[in-house]
């Protein structure tokens, strides 16, 4: 995307997995960057990161960090975002936040550019990046929802170690080596060993038995689709994959949805790549989705238990489209539509 205006960017959480991916994407997408500031906690301050041939020093975030910053890309966790977002907005920046801190705040747009770009215009200084699993699912099924509204979604996710960060990925690798060497695997980042294992997502459970990750998919999908009537139920599972999440999705419509029409719609949709080789039984896999921008979608078929049902399978890079890429796309949208100025009063956090 060619954007004429150059802007000053700050990455809050620059040393994490998403922060590192943001740096790569700024270069890959030739983002119109004037100045880049790398921010993190005091324990990471002083680290050196090479960006576009220059060595940059990570700074400890402070009250003065956001002066002369146009956009803050925040990927440092909910408590950090709550602590610093308002300070950044007061300094004149727009915060694109990757945490769950503001997603369900009615005053904060929850944006996936392929789905609801118009929502970004309503920002009051903060725009929320949805949860990774919600983004991947939404990009895949919204094109169908536009043609015929979806009544109900039943989704099971198969979530890689990358969803818990770089340390969880490293831990899974160490566990795999230990098991192959006949040693007992140790778990510190995740509650149980992930190598050669899987378990329901480890986020807190509510009184109905749904974990926080599952409820994110329920509530965020309704907000992004601007449809409180759509029914969503999710089962989220941690699986021994290093990077890229997978999802098995069952959709129920009011009327039958012709399978070939669904394939044509998804094949033409933005942010999606249709991957289907029925003769070879070849469909999306995490190994193919890793490092890729599009969400890979395939195995689209009629639900044999319901005449108005469709089933599909997807894989998408959780760090990329599920986090960093979506944030960069929002930043590009702000520049393209001239939405950096805050017309309304800022969100008070």
C-alpha distances (whole Å) from 141 to each of 20, 106, 179 are 29, 24, 39
Q: Looking at 132, 145, 236, 315, which residue is catalytic?
A: 132
159 exposed, middle or buried (CB, 10 Å; 0-12, 13-18, 19+)? buried
Please confirm, yes or no, whether 236 is among the known catalytic residues: no
CA neighbours within 13 Å on the CB side: how many for 142? 23
B/e letters for 172-192, b = 16+ CB within 10 Å, e = fewer, are bebbbeeeeeeeebeeeebee
Q: Around Cβ 148, how many Cβ atoms within 10 Å?
A: 18
Q: Looking at 123, 145, 201, 245, which residue is catalytic?
A: 245
Q: Which two tokens stand for residue 171?
A: 């831990």
Q: Around Cβ 196, how many Cβ atoms within 10 Å?
A: 12
Q: Angle at Cα 190 formed by Cα 186 and Cα 194, nearest 5°?
A: 65
Contacts 24+ apart (CB under 8 A), 207-214: 210/234, 211/236, 213/131, 213/133, 213/157, 213/159
Please confirm, yes or no, whether 245 is among the known catalytic residues: yes
C-alpha 146/C-alpha 155 separation (Å) is 19
C-alpha 152/C-alpha 76 separation (Å) is 33
Q: Which residues are known catalytic residues?
A: 132, 245
């Amino acid at each position: 995307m060619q954007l004429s205006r150059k802007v000053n960017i700050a990455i809050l959480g620059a040393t994490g997995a998403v922060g590192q991916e943001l740096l790569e994407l700024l270069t890959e997408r030739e983002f119109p960057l004037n100045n880049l500031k790398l921010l993190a906690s005091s324990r990471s301050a002083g680290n050196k990161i090479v960006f576009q041939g220059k060595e940059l020093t990570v700074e400890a975030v402070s009250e003065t960090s956001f002066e002369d910053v146009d956009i803050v890309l925040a990927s440092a966790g909910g408590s950090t975002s709550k602590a610093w977002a308002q300070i950044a907005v007061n300094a004149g920046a727009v915060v694109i936040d990757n945490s769950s801190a503001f997603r369900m705040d009615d005053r904060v747009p929850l944006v996936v550019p392929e789905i609801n770009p118009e929502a970004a215009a309503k920002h009051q200084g903060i725009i929320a990046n949805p949860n990774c699993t919600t983004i991947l699912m939404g990009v895949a099924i919204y094109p169908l929802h536009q043609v015929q509204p979806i009544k109900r979604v039943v989704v099971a996710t198969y979530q890689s170690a990358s969803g818990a960060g770089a340390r969880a990925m490293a831990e899974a690798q160490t566990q795999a080596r230990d098991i192959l060497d006949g040693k007992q695997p140790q778990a510190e980042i995740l509650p149980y060993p992930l190598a050669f294992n899987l378990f329901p997502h480890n986020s807190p459970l509510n009184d109905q038995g749904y974990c926080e990750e599952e409820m994110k998919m329920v509530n965020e999908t309704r907000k992004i689709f601007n449809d409180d009537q759509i029914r969503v139920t999710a089962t989220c599972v941690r699986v021994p994959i290093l990077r890229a999440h997978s999802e098995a999705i069952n959709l129920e419509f009011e009327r039958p949805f012709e399978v070939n029409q669904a394939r044509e719609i998804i094949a033409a949709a933005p942010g999606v790549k249709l991957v289907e080789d029925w003769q070879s039984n070849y469909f999306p896999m995490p190994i193919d989705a890793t490092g890729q921008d599009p969400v890979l979608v395939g195995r689209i078929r009629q639900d044999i238990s319901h005449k108005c049902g469709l089933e599909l399978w997807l894989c998408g890079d959780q760090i990329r489209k599920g986090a960093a890429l979506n944030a960069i796309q929002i930043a590009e949208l702000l520049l393209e539509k001239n939405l950096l100025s805050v017309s309304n009063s800022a969100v008070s956090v």
